[in-house]
Amino acid sequence: MFQHLDLIRYRAYADLRAEASRLYVSYLWWIIEPIIEMLVYYVVFSQLLDRGGPAYVPFLLTGLALWKWFSSTIMVASGSIQRSHVLLSQVRLPVSIFPLISILTSSVKFLVLFLILIVFLLSQGYGATGSYVALPLLFAAEFSLILFLSGLCAAAVAIVPDLQLILTRILLMGLFLSGIWYDGSDLPESMQPYFYWNPMATIIDGMRKVLLENEIPPLGSLVCITALSFIGFLVVTWTLNKYDRKILKWTH
Amino acid sequence: MDTLTRMSINEANKEEILSFDQVSYFFSQRKGFTKRKKFWALKDVSFNICRGETVGILGHNGAGKSTVLRLLAGIYEPDQGQITNCGVSVSLLSLQAGFVPYLSGRENSILSGLTLGISKKKILEEIEAIHAFSELGDFYDQPLHTYSTGMRARLGFSIAFRVDPDVLLVDEVLGVGDSEFQQKSASKMREKIRGNKTVVLVSHNTHLIRELCQRAVLIENGHSIIQADTETVLKRYLESKNQKAL
């Protein structure tokens, strides 16, 4: 895979450039699209349903930004091997590089979104504090989780395309179960341990602690998510490389 | 083809660098929810390639010639039998691999070159040579979707031609683009093939096979029928072609 790093980087750049070239306002869509999406949630939950008071908007936007990075990357990466089938029949390339290209593309867009979120939070009086030292660990946890699940979903969808439809529903369920609109601590106490079994709920909760409450998140849980996800990623990559040609043969 | 026949062909004691030994490959077609139908594209195909020679692969449409090249390139993996590679790099000449319509010719040169396995350093060193060879002029920095089919073909060839593996696999592609560029690209390819390079060439063009290949393999219905000197194989191929025509 390392010998293809230049290709992964350039392909991700090409995808971003191509996407921007197709649209009238080009790269501005990276900012406009998530803002529109967040605005929809803001209008529904903050204005129509009148939830949470003035602190609710930063709370909602923090959760949404992280969820968007996770879900949009998994969706794009899951179809990446299938979409590259023609190219894979022309040139000898490892299938494992295609989910990585999608991850890189989506992560660049997320970084832009995250910077906008930070600017918004600073404008709302949330200062950058010492708790920001935990940000790399939060990013590492979510990035590792994305690496692991993207490879797994890409291989599964390549062989059984129907799984992409199921994946859409699973991600929708994840959206409801990850505490985007509500705080996990508002759940009944008996439910809370189960709620935090969802790694995205732990990561989103941790990010809110850092950005909104100036607190250090539960480091043990985050290290555990990072380590397990990274091991999962290594196992998936090893399997993809080992059964590389078989996956290509059974790809639809 | 038995091993003795194959060995007698190697009378010059050339160094064998690639070999197919009873190789079979099937494509799978889904038939219903759980059922799949196997279509054997190749069955027990055997032949060998020696360093520095040009070998032609002959056969009618659908005989399995392109599948042979993809197996040689490592794109497919045999379902039965064995392919032995004595440590040589093998590449299929792929035109327009990985092209993105919204990127310029220059950006596509880098992208396609990386896709074909050329290092970024080498592509950047040769990018002006690619530009000049493609004869695209100012269009080189314009998006690919503004190109005509011929212009795309010229760019594709100019990049793919830079790939320099130990064994080059060519599937019918010799000259591309308009008639002038076709002559230029075909002449460059002939130059490359006639050099010291090991080449496996698939073509229906018997004149071309006669002109460029020292040996040939005839494949029919997924089976290797004969591997011998070019004239012998061409004779057998033309006989079989005439029989089919009757």
Per CB-CB distance under 8 Å, the chain A contacts of B168 are: none
Judgement on whether residues B164 and B115 belong to the same structural domain of the protein: yes
Provide the residue count of chain A.
Answer: 252
- Give contacts of B 23-82 with A, CB under 8 A: 28, 30, 70, 73-77
Give the SS3 label for residue B215: strand
Per CB-CB distance under 8 Å, the chain B contacts of A17 are: 102-103, 107
Per CB-CB distance under 8 Å, the chain B contacts of A246 are: 77
**B229: alpha, beta or left? (left if phi > 0; alpha if psi -120 to 50):** beta
pLDDT confidence tier of residue A27, bands split at 50, 70 and 90: confident
Q: What is the mean pLDDT of residues A108-122?
A: 91
Encode pLDDT of A63-107 as tens digits. 999 999 999 999 999 999 999 998 998 899 999 999 999 999 999
**A233: alpha, beta or left? (left if phi > 0; alpha if psi -120 to 50):** alpha
CB of B115 less than 8 A from some CB of A: yes
Other Cβ atoms less than 10 A from the Cβ of B144: the count is 20
For chain B, helix, strand, coil in percent to 5 are 40, 30, 30
pLDDT of residue B163: 87
Q: Which of A85, A90, A243, A245 should one mutate to test binding to chain B, selecting the residue with the greatest count of B CBs within 10 A? A: A90
Encode pLDDT of B140-191 as tens digits. 999 999 999 889 989 999 998 888 899 999 887 766 777 788 888 888 888 8
Q: Nearest Cβ partner of A14 from B70, B92, B107?
A: B107
| Domain CATH number, residue B101 | 3.40.50.300
User: What is the rounded (10 degree) CA torsion for B36, B41, B42, B48?
Assistant: -130
Other Cβ atoms less than 10 A from the Cβ of A70: the count is 26
Q: Is the pLDDT of residue A204 over 70?
A: yes
Q: What is the mean pLDDT of residues A177-190?
A: 88
Judgement on whether residues B101 and B194 belong to the same structural domain of the protein: yes
Range(s) of the domain holding residue B215: 3-91+200-245
Encode pLDDT of A78-88 as tens digits. 999 999 998 99
B30 and A92 within 8 Å at the Cβ level: the answer is no
Ordered strands of the B35-50 beta sheet: B35-50, B16-31, B80-85
Residue of A nearest to B97 (CA): A87
Q: Which residues of A touch B (CB under 8 A)?
A: 6-7, 10-11, 14-15, 17-18, 21-22, 87-93, 245-246, 248-250, 252
**CA dist., res. A155 & res. B239, Å (int):** 47
Q: Nearest Cβ partner of A10 from B28, B110, B117?
A: B110
Domain map (residue ranges) of chain A: 2-250
Per CB-CB distance under 8 Å, the chain B contacts of A92 are: 73-75, 91, 117
- On whether the CB atoms of residues A121 and A58 are closer than 8 A, the answer is yes
Number of domains in chain B: 2
pLDDT of residue B112: 93
Judgement on whether residues B190 and B153 belong to the same structural domain of the protein: yes
Per CB-CB distance under 8 Å, the chain A contacts of B41 are: none
Task: List the beta bridge partners of residue B36.
Answer: B30
ipTM score assigned to the predicted complex = 0.84
Helix axes A97-123, A199-213, angle to 10 degrees: 30
Provide the residue count of chain B.
Answer: 246
Judgement on whether residues B67 and B87 belong to the same structural domain of the protein: yes
B111 and A21 within 8 Å at the Cβ level: the answer is no
Judgement on whether residues B177 and B230 belong to the same structural domain of the protein: no
- Measured between CA atoms, how close is B20 to chain A, in angstroms? 18
Q: Which one is predicted more confidently, B138 or A251? A: B138
Q: Is the pLDDT of residue A7 over 90?
A: yes
Residues 6+ away with beta carbon under 8 Å from A179: A63, A195, A201, A204, A205
- Give contacts of B 194-223 with A, CB under 8 A: none
Per CB-CB distance under 8 Å, the chain B contacts of A7 are: 114-115
Judgement on whether residues B103 and B21 belong to the same structural domain of the protein: no
pLDDT of residue B174: 67
Judgement on whether residues B110 and B68 belong to the same structural domain of the protein: no
Q: Is the pLDDT of residue A48 over 90?
A: no
pLDDT of residue B26: 92
Judgement on whether residues B86 and B111 belong to the same structural domain of the protein: no
pLDDT of residue B5: 45
Judgement on whether residues B139 and B180 belong to the same structural domain of the protein: yes
Residue found under tokens 């909602």: A60
A18 and B103 within 8 Å at the Cβ level: the answer is yes
**CA dist., res. A62 & res. A117, Å (int):** 7
Q: Which of A1, A7, A241, A251 should one mutate to test binding to chain B, selecting the residue with the greatest count of B CBs within 10 A? A: A7
Judgement on whether residues B216 and B190 belong to the same structural domain of the protein: no
What Cα–Cα distance (Å) separates residue A224 from each residue in A211, A219, A228, A236, B27? 21, 8, 6, 18, 43
Residue B125 amino acid letter: E
- On whether the CB atoms of residues A7 and B113 are closer than 8 A, the answer is no
Q: Average pLDDT, whole number, for chain A?
A: 90
Judgement on whether residues B74 and B49 belong to the same structural domain of the protein: yes
Low-confidence ranges of chain B (pLDDT < 50): 1-11
Tokens of B36: 């799949």
Contacts across the A-B interface (CB distance below 8 Å): 65
Judgement on whether residues B79 and B151 belong to the same structural domain of the protein: no
Percent of chain A, pLDDT > 70?
98
pLDDT of residue B3: 41
Return the ∠ at Cα B150 (arms to B148 and B156), rounded to 5°: 105
